[in-house]
Copies of this chain bind each other. A is one copy, B any other.
Amino acid sequence: MKVGVIGLGLIGGSIAKELKHRGFATKIKGVDLNAANAKAALELGLIDEFAGDGPGSFNLNDLILFLEDIELIIVAIPVDAARKFVPEILDHLSSKQVLMDVGSTKVGICSAVSGRSNRKQFVATHPIAGTENSGPRAAHVGLFEGKIGIVCDAEESSSEALGIVQKIYNMLGMRIIRMDSAQHDQHISYVSHLSHISSFALALTVLDKEKDERLIFNMAGSGFESTVRLAKSSSEMWSPIFQQNKDFLAKALDEYIERLLAFKQDILEKNDNSLKMMMLDANRVRKILDGQDKNEVKLDLIDE
């Protein structure tokens, strides 16, 4: 299959690398607004050729022309750009082409394509995988192994388009869950987006207080390193995600702050029992995350 990847960062680059690695893609064309990224993706062998007069240079017409022999187009760009470009690309698809995105918010993109004549050729997805690193050099095989790929508003997509996405995601080692786009955005605001903000805010609090970088470096082994890992994430990617998910996220933040204030109060008042109860309650994440219940965690898998 001939595959086009728009956006050659960690996710787009890793999918490209996997599809070549597994011999699924006979040809991969790529495009990235960042000329250095496009060039690196070619040098790294993630793609076979890139669009435009030179790396990183293209307009919509050029892009459509560049992608005309492509059967599957994967959009892996920041969610604000995706919301703008996906409907335009969709309108120019030939009847045999399938378009999918991999963004971290799904209501925005699904509203943007709603009612378009080619809507059925588009599949809204979110592979739950990533690292705090970005760019084509961070791309690697194995990123998606054992992870979950969420497909949103599947009833709006054709079974052919869904079948292709299913096949690719399974090939990458992912299990697929279907979900309503609003449901997705709400769940992900708690489990992912809130985590990122908690991490960014923690980094800023510590960096602001501790002017001596040596001290931070020396004391990072005490837990900071893990909680602050996500604060390394790309602002270009995350700012639009937070904005697109602002209502769910604001509510999640309110609830989080409420919990922090409960800790503060119990600490100041030395309510030892209440503090321990909260922590014991929080300890339940161990069982969930360590997957001690893995066998019992039955997934709503789509096995078509």
Interface residues of A (CB under 8 A from B): 104, 128-130, 132, 147-148, 177, 187-188, 190-192, 194-210, 213-236, 238-240, 242-243, 246, 249-250, 252-257, 259-264, 267-268, 270, 272, 275-276, 278-286, 288-289, 291, 293, 297-300
State whether A243 and B223 are in contact (beta carbons under 8 Å apart), knowing that A249-B267, A282-B200 are contacts in the complex.
no
Closest to A290 in B: B232
* Choice from B104, B279, B284 contacting A233 with Cβ under 8 Å: B279
Q: Within 8 Å CB of A201, what residues of B? A: 256, 259-260, 262-263, 282
Closest to A265 in B: B250
The reply to whether B209 and A202 contact each other, CB–CB distance below 8 Å, is no
A292 to chain B, nearest CB (A): 11
Which residue, of A218, A236, A246, has the highest number of chain B Cβ atoms within 10 A? A218
> Could you tell me the distance between the alpha carbons of A276 and B80 in the complex, rounded to whole angstroms?
14
* Choice from B208, B222, B279 contacting A235 with Cβ under 8 Å: B279
Q: Which 3 A-B pairs have the closest CB atoms?
A: A192-B222, A235-B279, A201-B259
Is the contact region of chain A dominated by helix, strand, or loop, or is it mixed? helix
Closest to A231 in B: B282
The reply to whether B270 and A243 contact each other, CB–CB distance below 8 Å, is yes
* Choice from B187, B239, B280 contacting A210 with Cβ under 8 Å: B187
* Choice from B200, B215, B254, B285 contacting A187 with Cβ under 8 Å: B215
* Choice from B177, B191, B263, B282 contacting A253 with Cβ under 8 Å: B263
Q: Within 8 Å CB of A202, what residues of B? A: 194-195, 198, 256, 259
Closest to A219 in B: B191
* Choice from B217, B259, B267, B288 contacting A243 with Cβ under 8 Å: B267
A231 to chain B, nearest CB (A): 4
State whether A223 and B259 are in contact (beta carbons under 8 Å apart), knowing that A283-B231, A293-B213 are contacts in the complex.
no
State whether A187 and B219 are in contact (beta carbons under 8 Å apart), knowing that A200-B278, A253-B260, A276-B236 are contacts in the complex.
yes
The reply to whether A223 and B230 contact each other, CB–CB distance below 8 Å, is yes
The reply to whether B209 and A288 contact each other, CB–CB distance below 8 Å, is no
Q: Within 8 Å CB of A246, what residues of B? A: 267-268, 270
The reply to whether A191 and B205 contact each other, CB–CB distance below 8 Å, is no
